[in-house]
Every structure is written in structure tokens, then in C-alpha cells.
Structure 1
Amino acid sequence: MFNLVIFGPPGAGKGTQSEKIIEKYQLAHISTGDMFRMHISNDTELGQKVKQILADGLLVPDSVTIEMLEDEVSRNPDAKGFIFDGFPRTVPQAEALDAFLKGKGYKIDLVLQLDVNQEVITERIAERQKISGRADDDASKLIKRIDEYFSKTIHVLPYYQNQDKVVKINGIGKINDIFENISNAIDTSMA
């Protein structure tokens, strides 16, 4: 089983590249953002809580996120591996993910860091907002989301760097060129 984390700020291209990784490597995709949106659209109790937290531009508490993620992994027992998109966002989440995977006899094999500057992020999300209308892409919330990433989430990288699992990928350029670099990193890690 091969497990990877795709890491980067909002608008870095995690969703776009995840789709290509899934197609090529047949990994199960676990996107915390998609899980949250599903709960919100189904108006579950969890969805109502998450909706307010996201509307405020904050991160969902670790305990809620981890519970949803563990449930999602357990529902895919025959997966060749997982791509974790939008998780972990804190060091405690990374530690909880490692402990959970270890309990199942798995580990995180690779962390892909999509490196994109703030100017490009802002442009991409503005374009995405025109198309998708996602509430979390609203300009006022975007600033909070980017701040959350650079003030909190970025601190997860040293956790994985200390395990020699991080490969930095230039996230600016043509989608297929970026994906070629990602594929090279995955293939090297799988070898």
C-alpha cells in the first residue's frame, strides 16, 4: 500500500493534481474539504458545525477531522493506497494519522509539497470562485484561509521533513508539466 499527502496552500492545485495522481496510480482520494462539503450539503449535524467553522475561515478541530478521516479509510479496505488532500493541517493531526496508519500496518510514504506564491494563489482562487461559487473561496474568507496555512499548516512540513518524506514540487506552470514532476517523485518513492 502506498500512501501520500499532497500539501500546499489553498489554490496550489492539490485537487487538480490529485485527480491526475488517482487516475495514474489508482489511489483512493481522501479530501477533508470534500468530506466537509458532503456533510454540509447533506445538512448533517457534523455538517452544520463544520459549515459555521468554515464560514468563519477557521480550521475544523482535529478530533472531528480525524474521526471523519478514519471512517473514510476504513470504508476503503481494498484500496491500493490513499492520497490525503487537505490533511494533516496540524502536527497533532500528522501524529494522529501516523498512529492510525501504523495501527493498520501502513505509513505515509511521501509528502508532496506544491510550492506556489501568494500572487498565483489569489489569481487561481479568484478564477475558481467565478466557476464554482464555493463559499470558502470568497475573498474575505480566502485571506483567513491563506493566513491559516502560512501561520499553522506550514509547520507540519518539518514533521515530515524530519522523516525524509517531503519532495517540493514547483506548483506554477502547466498542469501536465507539474504532474510529470509529481509522477517522477512518486515513481522514485515507490522504487
Structure 2
Amino acid sequence: MRLLIMGPPGAGKGTQAKGIAERYGVPAISTGDIFRSNVAQRTPLGLEVERIMHAGGYVGDDITNQIVADRLAEEDARHGFLLDGYPRTVAQVAALDELLTARSAQLDAVICLEADRDELVARLVKRAESEGRADDSEEAIRVRQQVYADETAPLLDAYAERGLLIRIDGLGSVDEVGQRIADALDARG
């Protein structure tokens, strides 16, 4: 299976990605995790990513596309993967399409977790408080929700036109949402 999981911040993508990857025997690949790992290890990429993030920006398409291409070339991802946090732009969609075409592969489905924005903000504010994330103010969380709506959500239309999009209600227990995803993927065959 070659899958994407998308949805606004706080929808539970990372949590659900682990279960999906386990169920289908593919690696869950999070660009955010790759970036954070590089920052923690103080690699040249990590230093550049840290500089960009401290300035409030997003890591550019060129860097992100290369990181994903390198990761998908690893042995465990040759026959399937679940991408979390990628693609986020039209240019990244095109880069992923080119990469898959070059490997005579294609996406099987794009899972989109959907949830009420106010519910997600409340969830993230609570998580920020319990994890001591001082930089995760309600205002910052709402900005990220809007950035998602403006920049990433339009990609869903492109995947819907290709017949790949599966919309899933992302509210409920981890198991309930996981079962909705499994049922939807199983129904696709």
C-alpha cells in the first residue's frame, strides 16, 4: 500500500499513522519527525531547518522533496509507505507524482482526517498545557489551522478528482477512528 494521511493539525494523523502502518506492514514516514530528528542531531540539514522554523517559515519544497525521495528509496519503503505531513504544496504533489512514476508506482489512497476546527484547537491547547508547550498558544494554533486550510486543504480537491480521497471523521477514540480508516481502506480493496 502507498498511502498519504492528511488533515489539519491536531486531527490525529500521527497517532493513526502508526496503526495504519502496522496493519498494512509499511513504514509510517513523517516529514516532521525527519526534520525534528535532524534538528536534534544538529546535522547540516537540521541546522537549516531550525533556522527556517525559528523564523516562522516552512521548510522549502526542494529540501522537503529531497528528504522524501531519499527516505522512499530506503529498502523498507520500496513496496509501500504511509506519508504523514507530505505533500503540503502543489509543487510537492508534482514531485511525488514524478517520483512514483519513475518507479512505476502510484498512490493507493489519500486518507483525510476531518474534524471541527474549534474541537481541534481545544485538543491542541489541552495538549500544549499538559506537555508544557509554551509556544503553542491558542492564537498560534489557530494560525496553523488557517495555514492548513489555505495551503494544504486545496490539495485534497486534486486527490478527490483522481478518486483517491477517503474522508474520515477524525473525532472519537483512537480505536473508533482507526476502525473507520480500516473499513474505508478495506472497502476500496
Report the TM-score, using the length of structure 1 for normalisation.
0.90
Structure 1 residue ranges without an equivalent (≥5): none
Aligned partners of 2:77, 2:116: CA distance in 1, in Å?
Answer: 37
Q: State the match for 2:116 in structure 1.
A: 117
SS at match of 1:12: coil
The structure-2 alpha-carbon separation of the partners of 1:109 and 1:137, relative to structure 1 and needing over 3 Å to count, comes to: farther
Q: State the match for 2:87 in structure 1.
A: 88
Q: Is the 8 A contact 1:11 1:122 kept in 2?
A: yes
The structure-2 alpha-carbon separation of the partners of 1:40 and 1:136, relative to structure 1 and needing over 3 Å to count, comes to: farther
Aligned partners of 1:155, 1:10: CA distance in 2, in Å?
Answer: 15
Q: State the match for 1:182 in structure 2.
A: 181
CA apart distance, 1:50: 1.4
Which is further off, 112-121 or 72-81? 72-81
Q: State the match for 2:71 in structure 1.
A: 72
Q: State the match for 1:103 in structure 2.
A: 102
Tell me, yes or no, if structure 1 residue 157 matches structure 2 residue 159. no
Which is further off, 126-135 or 69-78? 126-135
The structure-2 alpha-carbon separation of the partners of 1:138 and 1:48, relative to structure 1 and needing over 3 Å to count, comes to: farther
The structure-2 alpha-carbon separation of the partners of 1:148 and 1:184, relative to structure 1 and needing over 3 Å to count, comes to: same
CA RMSD, aligned part only? Answer: 1.9
Q: Is the 8 A contact 1:112 1:167 kept in 2?
A: yes
Tell me, yes or no, if structure 1 residue 142 matches structure 2 residue 141. yes
Aligned partners of 1:54, 1:136: CA distance in 2, in Å?
Answer: 12
Aligned residue type for 2:54: A
Q: Between the two proteins, what is the percent identity of the paired residues?
A: 35
Report the TM-score, using the length of structure 2 for normalisation.
0.91
Aligned partners of 2:77, 2:11: CA distance in 1, in Å?
Answer: 29
Structure 2 residue ranges without an equivalent (≥5): none
CA apart distance, 1:49: 1.9
* Matched residue count: 189
CA apart distance, 1:129: 2.2
